[in-house]
Amino acid sequence: MARNHIRGYLESGRYELVALADLHESAMEEVDRSFDVSPAHYTDAREMLEDVRPDVVSVGTWHEGHAEWTIAAAAYRPKAILCEKPMADTPGRAEQMLIACNRNDVKLAIAHQRRFLPSYTLARQMIADGAVGDVQWIASVGAQGLPNYCTHQTDMFRYLLSDDTCTWVMGNVERKTDRWERNTRIEDAAEATFQFARGARANIICDLGAEVYQGAKIYGSEGMIDLTVEDLKLLNADTSGKWETHQPEGRWVQPGATGFEYHEAGVAQALELADWVEGQIETHRGEAQHGYHALQMIHAVYESARCHERVVMPLQTRLNPLNVMIDSGHLTPERPGKYEIRAMRLRGEGMDQDSTA
């Protein structure tokens, strides 16, 4: 995902890539070749921050490094930080990121880049304009654990509903194996329901079927929208009860192109960040409070499973409730043996994680 940040920065025409920090020199050399750039290389990120003092910092580590490196970067007072999602590995660490950036006057955005997809933005506008009446239900699916894949879905719910507030969450998880994703414990399967202040409800089923995609089916009192990352289909009285397809054009690449959703959204995300930094707009679609709400909604599913109850928001538990269940013996794997589903992303002899330090 760090490469998607880099592409966004460079193609927006508003940034200069001045330095990279990575534990592996080979990773930085690959970036140089891929983008025909020659930034300074550091294997110590704090040394980079001290030497370079960048205006904007991207944090593209695995999940447990998001808080550590956002807090470290904020201490050097850049103008903005763009951190990959999920915002942090626990709600408490996400709060610390907000505090660190606030006390250092640093703008913080979380890279839920699909907020910048033309189809998502069109769906949001249609809903706001009443094209489907009152939204009653949003159905989505996920995979590879709630924290990674499905924070996109919880963030999408709020974006489609003009960032309405989630008021309660109820869900459950299955975890018979010791499954991890980017060195974060994940469940084997999950299902969750989310209630929003203005009446809409949404649900996620994760790793419970063959169908997996980013997007949703949106059911309203007067119509429906079937949303994907490239287009949407609308059905209401104005379409004579037939599905009407809308595929809005991209600004930098067109739907159907390889990697469309990452390319198009990544550049738009970087461009809006530049506008935010320069004071041309008051906020950013990915402003950190949105990432924080999306993360809380995911961890509320775990808290609901832990406490066997509906969880009223905002979430009060600051640790990862899934970890609490496992460490306390509440949810001991029946088939032990840690396995990392993203091990293919590691380099050298790494099988579990890269060090965050």
Longest dimension (CA), the chain: 63
In this structure, is residue 38 part of a structural domain? yes
Give me Rg for the CA atoms of the chain.
20
**Alpha carbon distance 224, 243 (integer Å):** 9
Tell me the one-letter amino acid at 115: R
Confidence band, pLDDT 50/70/90 cuts, at residue 357? very low
* Cis-peptide into 39, omega within 30 deg: no
Number of CB atoms found within 10 A of residue 335's CB: 9
In this structure, is residue 17 part of a structural domain? yes
In this structure, is residue 96 part of a structural domain? yes
In this structure, is residue 54 part of a structural domain? yes
pLDDT above 50 for 223: yes
**Alpha carbon distance 117, 250 (integer Å):** 8
Q: Which stretches of the chain are assigned E, i.e. beta strand? A: 19-21, 40-42, 56-59, 80-83, 107-110, 135-142, 166-174, 177-181, 184-185, 189-196, 201-206, 215-220, 223-228, 232-236, 244-246, 311-312, 335-340
Q: Does residue 161 contact residue 252 with C-beta atoms inside 8 Å?
A: no
Domain count, the chain: 1
pLDDT above 90 for 210: no
In this structure, is residue 338 part of a structural domain? no
Tell me the one-letter amino acid at 24: H
Coil, helix or strand at residue 266: helix
**Alpha carbon distance 321, 249 (integer Å):** 41
> What value does the mean pLDDT take over residues 290-309?
98
In this structure, is residue 87 part of a structural domain? yes
pLDDT tens per residue, range 269-292: 999 999 999 999 999 999 999 999
**CATH code at 64?**
3.40.50.720
Give the DSSP H/E element, type plus range, for residue 90. Answer: none
Tell me the one-letter amino acid at 244: E
The pLDDT value given to residue 209? 86
CA-wise closest residue to 119 among 253, 223, 229, 244: 229
In this structure, is residue 273 part of a structural domain? yes
> What value does the mean pLDDT take over residues 301-320?
98
225: tokens are 């929208």
Tell me the one-letter amino acid at 193: T
> What value does the mean pLDDT take over residues 214-225?
97
> What value does the mean pLDDT take over residues 332-338?
93
Coil, helix or strand at residue 272: helix
CA-wise closest residue to 231 among 247, 210, 251: 247
Confidence band, pLDDT 50/70/90 cuts, at residue 261? very high
Please give the residue range of the domain that contains residue 73: 2-113+267-287
In this structure, is residue 206 part of a structural domain? no
